[in-house]
Chains A and B, each alone.
Chain A
């Protein structure tokens, strides 16, 4: 994908925030796979005893990690492990398909680590998990297969192994 295409994607993303009626067309153009069966795990633990992890598709990653691939028009189905003991300044967003100017100023609007830490200090949740996970949204074509069959189950396994009780998912 050319630099012009990336510029175009970012420009469209900005327009969608200011002119929400255009977003309807963007939504209509994207065809996620339709599901039938819905997985279900009952909530077993009290909130104030639960380890909580975040998974975001807002394109969040550490500055020293490889950025998500913006040149592939089908997106990037890989994920990044996010260590929230490092300061927010160590994080950045790579995602051309939504306007993240506001999230760049305060990452909590897509990745609410500060708010969850406050909930932890107030005794509302048990504990904030050590590792959290960043994906980018806008996964299409052959990468959907990779996401569904490889990277999403990998992250699920890592969360399960870490003893996480609740996962909160946030989009971009």
Chain B
């Protein structure tokens, strides 16, 4: 995934990637990444958990605007099922 991300950034489009395998991301060095310590096949979370999926998406966009150092990986501290997502606010995105 990071290799494709690098090609897109190279042509002049800013990119943000969601990683669930930090070791790959460290090696491939895409420009901007959020990392979640979640199971394979679940980068946005669990099926039909809309607030969880939105929270991950919001963190990705926040990171897109926050990262100013190429190659930075932001570790998202979401605790899979032990995290409450229903009170997560996406309003902050209106400032970007």
Contact = CB atoms under 8 A, between A and B. Distances in A.
- Most A C-beta atoms less than 10 A away, residue of B4, B8, B12, B50: B4
Interface residues of A, number: 67
Nearest to B54: A115
Interface string B9-27: 1111111111111011001
A167 B61 CA distance: 10
Interface of B: 1-21, 23-24, 27-31, 39-48, 50, 53-54, 57, 60-61, 64-65, 70-71, 90, 93-94, 96
Given A47-B96, A98-B41, A115-B54, A152 B27 contact: no
Given A35-B29, A98-B40, A108-B53, A166 B64 contact: yes
B15 A167 contact: yes
Interface string A114-140: 011011001111000000000101010
13 contacts: A16-B39, A32-B2, A39-B31, A41-B15, A46-B96, A99-B41, A103-B42, A109-B45, A110-B41, A135-B4, A159-B11, A165-B13, A169-B1
